[in-house]
Structure 1
Amino acid sequence: MRTTRRNTLRRGCVGALLAAVTLLTSAGPAVADDPSASTSPAEDDGTAGPTEAGTTFRTATPIQQEQTATADASTGDYLYWAFPADAGQRPTVRAKVSLPESATRHGASTWQVDVYDGLRRRQACMYGHQTRKAAPDAGTVELSCVLRTVRAWSEPWASDPLPGTYYVRLTVVGLAEEDLGLPVHVETEVTSAGQGGAHDVDGSLAEPLVPGVSVASAQGSAPAAGEPEDGWSSGWWTARWLWTVGGGVLAALAAVFGYGLTRGGGRPSRVPPGV
């Protein structure tokens, strides 16, 4: 009878261990990088955004992620938009420039999109087409910039992306002088991929980096400019809690299983009477 109980206890512990391991390995699904993703802004699906762009950091037009912002401008203008990015997100900025008629142009043009954080530090692109040259007969040019994952906290000397407002700047960096001032139409969109607990860190900012005009609150219940529609993350809950709790459960189950093995193997078996 004791042997049967010990076997039952061992099978129960083994089953619990396997269940806990399965839970941990399935808690955080991996997100694969896709550098070959399309760089075209999303089609019009009800997420249309502003129809203008700012011309400086201070006048940057605020947009939300998943919105498609448009603007009509002149070749040579600096165009600015501002969008919010929270911890755990990896933003992707896409821009599409519709060029003037080829008959009115005098040569090729080179366009560039840059992204700056709330402290106006230029953020490097992990991959994408940040700078592209348009042939003299090209009708459009498409650019993209995939940022690093936004961290909840970082060292003061580091330039890691942090939660807050980000600025998109689009302009032409190479052009025949005769083509300055020609009209262009621009579409801009920002999307994000959640990276899960693999990028969680211990610590968080006291406040998101939301400087200048971006802190002005909108009327009514709408979020402030430069703030996500569902608000900023609280900063204390991360997927690392799942791993911490799961590790504790595994340690407890392993202790119970080891105790059962030690107790079962350390006591001599009883000899039936009369033997």
Structure 2
Amino acid sequence: MRMTRMLGAAVLALGLAAGPAAADSSPSPSASDDGAAPTRAGTSFRTATEIEQGQRATANGSAGDYLYWSFPADAGQRPTVRATVELPKTHAAQTWQIDVYDGLRRRQACQYGAQTRTAAAGVSSLELACVLRTVRAWSEPWADDPLPGTYYIRLTVVHVPASDLGLPVGTEVRVGSEDLGGAAAVDGSLAKPLVPGVAAKSERSERTSAALADTDPEDGWASGWWSDRWVWTAVGGVLAALAGIAGYALTRGPGRPSRMPPGA
């Protein structure tokens, strides 16, 4: 009976821990599109159009333009950037590329995805994708690991005949991410996320001043110290204690009254 109760407590502890862990490993919900979705892109890092993860952003441009967007990514997330380029009916072969930079403007490598693609003559559209490495809460100063903060998307054509320069194109960009939770947790955190300044005009003057980007995750930036690893550590401690109690009960055997010799 005692062993049954201990096993039941262990199963209950595992069930309580599995809930948060499963939630962390599932993809983050996508924000619904609305009328406020951006319909234009920036032309540099400082004028990049801010978008939220899950938000659909569109922009019209010309072949040869540099189009920029920015989005927030927090620790434990593995962002995926997708872009669609709508080409005119008549055009020569064109090669488009999507690049992602972090808050320090360091180009981040793609784990996988079609980051560069070539559209043959007459093809109406092409799709690009870049799956980044998991964002870490902390990293060595010399490393180029993705860190929490603002990320920049740059979409441009890298190979195009001179005759096609300036042709109108339509673009669509969407960012999603998978939350890996404690599986990607590290010890340590940044004092502040890497959110650089952006160009902003004062209402009282035409002077341009630096202002912090106001695109943050819906739940705010993670503190960096909490992850579901704490839950599993606590569960491990509980299971170890139960195993110790069970082992003691098995080795001690059933309780017996002490038999003292007569006259002792």
TM-score, normalised via structure 1 length: 0.81
Report the secondary structure of 1:28's partner residue.
Answer: helix
Q: Which runs of 5+ in 1 are unaligned?
A: 1-7, 34-41, 217-222
Give the Å deviation of 1:171. 0.3
Who is 2:262 aligned against? none
Matches within 5 A, 1:65-84: 65-84=53-72
Matches within 5 A, 1:3-22: 8-22=1-15
User: d(CA) in 2 for partners of 1:187 and 1:209?
Assistant: 26
Please state whether the residue corresponding to 1:213 is helix, strand or coil: strand
* Conserved 8 A contact 1:90-1:193: yes
How is 1:116-155 mapped onto 2 (pairs within 5 angstroms)?
A: 116-155=101-140
- Show the counterpart of 2:96: 111
Contact persistence 1:98–1:185 (CA under 8 A): yes
Deviations 1:165-194 (A, max 9, x none): 000000000111111111111111111111
1:213 is the counterpart of 2:202: no
Query: 1:162 aligned to 147, 153, 166, which one?
Result: 147
Aligned mates of 2:219, 2:247 — CA distance in 1: 47
1:38-117 map, 5 Å: 45-46=33-34, 49-102=37-90, 105=91, 107-117=92-102
CA deviation profile, 1:16-75 (whole Å, cap 9, x unmatched)? 334434554565238589xxxxxxxx9x84275211111111111111111111111111
User: Which residue number in structure 1 is paired with residue 220 of structure 2?
Assistant: 231
Q: Any conservation in 1 of the 2:98–2:128 contact (CA below 8 Å)?
A: yes
RMSD: 2.6
Cα separation, 2, equivalents of 1:98 and 1:230:
34
Selected match of 1:185 from 156, 167, 170: 170
Q: Give 1:229 shift.
A: 3.1
Q: Which runs of 5 or more structure 2 residues have no equivalent in the other structure?
A: 202-211, 260-264
* Partner Cα distance (2:187, 2:14) in 1: 24
Structure 2 partner of 1:5: none
The answer to whether the Cα contact below 8 Å between 1:75 and 1:183 also exists between their aligned partners in 2 is yes
Distance in 1 between residues matched to 2:99 and 2:155, nearest whole Å:
7
Count of residues paired in the alignment: 245
CA distance in 2, matches of 1:248, 1:157: 36
> Does the Cα contact within 8 Å between 2:196 and 2:213 map onto a contact in 1?
no
* Structure with greater strand percent: 2
